[in-house]
Amino acid sequence: MDRNFTIKQVSIFVSFLILLINIIVLAVLFFLNKIDLTYQSVILAIFVSGLISYFTIRVLLENYILSKIKLIYQIIGKSKTNDQTKEIDKFTTLEMVGEEVSEWADDKEKQIQSFKELEDYRKNYVGTISHELKTPLFTVQGFVHTLLEGGLYDEKVNMKYLQRAMNNLDRLKFIVDDLELINKLESGKVYLEIANFDVKKLVEEVFLDMENHLKETGSVLKINPEADKAYVVQGDRENIRQVLHNLIVNSIKYGKENGSIEVSFFDLDDTVLVEVSDDGIGIGKEHINHVFDRFYRVDPSRSRAQGGSGLGLSIVKHIIEAHKQAINIRSNVGEGTTFGFTLKKI
C-alpha cells in the first residue's frame, strides 16, 4: 500500500477492524438469541465500542510508540541538519519516519565505507611517501659515511660522492616541493593568475627548457605541422607551463630512445585541446585509472632510476581541474601514450 499513514489514520483503520469484529460477534449472538438486547441497544454498543477502541488505540500509539519513533526521528534530524532546535510535527507519518531512518542508515553506511577507504588510502600514502623519502636519504647517508670514514681525503672519490649526495638532496627537495604544491592544490590554497596567452608559444618555450633531457635520450620534440596559427587561451600561464613540462618529461621518461614526442592543438567550440603524444612503451589498461594517483608508477624500476617525485601527473591533474577543465589519456601497450587537456579559448 503506497501511502503515508498518520497516527489518526492508523487509529481509525485498526478501530474499524475491531468494530467490524464486534459487529459480527454481536450480530451472531443477537440472531441466535444469546443476548437479551434490543436492536437499538446493539447499535449503541457497537458505536460506543468503536469510539473506545479509536481513542484507546490512538493514545497507545501516541504515548508508547510514536514517542519512541519521534525521539529516533529527532536524533536523525539533528544529525543530518546540525539544528538542535528542530521540532518534529505532532503527527509524523510512519512511512516518513521509515524512509528517514532508511536514508539515514544508508548515509551512515556510505560514511563508514568512505572512512575505511580514506584510512586505507592514508596507510598506503604514508607507506609510499616513507619509501620515496627513504631512498634518497639512505643514499645520502651512505655517501656521507663513506666520506667521514676517510673517503673525504681520497681525491678519486670525494668530489664524486659529494656530487651524488647533492643530487639525492636535490631529489629530496624536489619531492618535498611537489608535496607542498599538491597539498595546496587539493586544499584550494593556490591562487591562479588568470591571463590570456598563446599556448603554442608556451610549448615552444618549454621545448627550449628540455634540452638537457633530450641530450640524455636523443628524443625529438615537435609541434604538429598542422598547428600553423596562434592558440590564445585563458589560464595561469606558469601553472600551464608546469603541466606541459611534466607531461613532456613523462613522455621522455617512458618514450623510446631517439623517439618522438609531438604536441598537437585542436580548436574546439569553446576550448583548445592540447595533446602530448609519444611513441613509447604505452600503458596497460590496468594502469590507466591510476596514472594520476600520487606516487603511482607504471614501471617503478624505470621511473625511479630516472628520478622524479612520482607526483608529476597528479600535479598536472589538479592544475587542470583548478582551471575547471578536463584531462584525459589514451594509450596502448607498445604504441605510445597521448595525454590531452583543454583550456578555455579566447
Residue 231 has pLDDT above 90, yes or no: yes
Q: Are residues 163 and 276 in the same domain?
A: no
DSSP structural state of residue 17: H
**Strands annotated E in 90-244:** 194-198, 220-223, 232-236
Tell whether 84 and 12 lie within a shared domain.
yes
Contact (Cβ atoms closer than 8 angstroms) between residue 320 and residue 327: yes
> What is the average per-residue pLDDT within 201-207?
94
CA angle, residues 205, 340, 326, in degrees to nearest 5 = 110
For 166, the grid coordinates are 647533492
340 and 248 in a common domain: yes
What pLDDT does residue 95 have?
Answer: 58
Mean pLDDT of 165-177: 86
Percent of the chain with pLDDT over 70: 74
Indicate whether 106 belongs to any domain.
no
Query: Residue 90: what pLDDT?
Result: 45
Query: Is the per-residue pLDDT at 54 higher than 80?
Result: no
For residues 277 and 336, give the distance between their C-alpha atoms in angstroms, rounded to a whole number.
7
Locate 42 and state its grid cell.
446493539
**Number of domain units in the chain:** 3
Is residue 235 domain-resident? yes
Do 42 and 159 lie in one domain? The reply is: no
Q: Is residue 108 one of the residues assigned to a domain?
A: no
Residues 172, 199: one domain? Answer: no
- Domain endpoint, select from 187, 202, 222: 187
CB atoms within 10 A of CB 272: 21
Contacts of 313 (CB under 8 A, 6+ apart): 246, 247, 250, 291, 292, 296
Is the pLDDT at 49 greater than 90, yes or no?
Answer: no
pLDDT for residue 319 is more than 60: yes
> Does 119 map to a domain?
no
| pLDDT tens readout for residues 97-148 | 666 677 777 888 888 887 777 676 666 666 677 777 888 888 899 989 888 9
Q: What pLDDT is recorded for position 224? A: 92
pLDDT in tens, 26-36: 677 667 766 66
Q: Looking at the structure, tell me whether residues 177 and 208 fall in a common domain.
A: no
Q: How far apart are CA 215 and CA 211, in angstroms?
A: 6
* Biggest alpha carbon–alpha carbon distance for the chain: 128
Closest by CA position to 254, among listed 337, 311, 178: 337
- CATH number of the domain that residue 209 is part of: 3.30.565.10
Rounded mean pLDDT of 232-239? 95
Checking if the pLDDT of 86 tops 50, the result is no
Average pLDDT (288-307) is: 68
Query: What CATH number does residue 154 fall under?
Result: 1.10.287.130
Name the average pLDDT for the chain.
80
- What's the pLDDT score for residue 113? 82
First to last CA, the chain: 58
* Mean pLDDT of all residues in 168-180: 85
Residues with Cβ within 8 Å of 164's Cβ and at least 6 positions away in sequence, in order, are 139, 143
Q: Report residue 307's pLDDT band, with 50, 70 and 90 as the boundaries.
A: low
Nearest-10 crossing angle of helices 158-187, 94-148? 160
Residue type, 179: L
Comparing 2-11, 22-31, 190-199, which segment has the lowest mean pLDDT?
A: 2-11
Domain hosting 49: range is 7-92
Q: What is the DSSP letter of 245?
A: H
Residue with more model confidence, 170 or 105 = 170
The answer to whether residues 336 and 315 belong to one domain is yes
The string over 289-301, giving b where at least 16 C-beta atoms fall within 10 Å of a residue's C-beta and e elsewhere, is: eebbbbbbbbeee
In contact, 216 and 255? CB cutoff 8 Å: no
What are the percentages of helix, strand and coil residues in the chain, rounded to 5?
60, 15, 25
Structure pTM?
0.60
How much is the pLDDT for 35? 60
Phi, psi dihedral angles at 153 (to 5 degrees): -95, 0
Residue 8 predicted with pLDDT over 80: no
Helix (H, G, I), strand (E, B) or coil at 249: helix
pLDDT of residue 328: 94
pLDDT confidence of residue 1: 45
Q: Which residue has the higher pLDDT, 56 or 290?
A: 290
- My answer on whether 70 and 42 are in the same domain is yes
Instruction: Report whether pLDDT(240) > 80.
Output: yes
Among 187, 214, 239, the domain-final residue is: 187
- Whether 152 maps to a domain, the answer reads yes
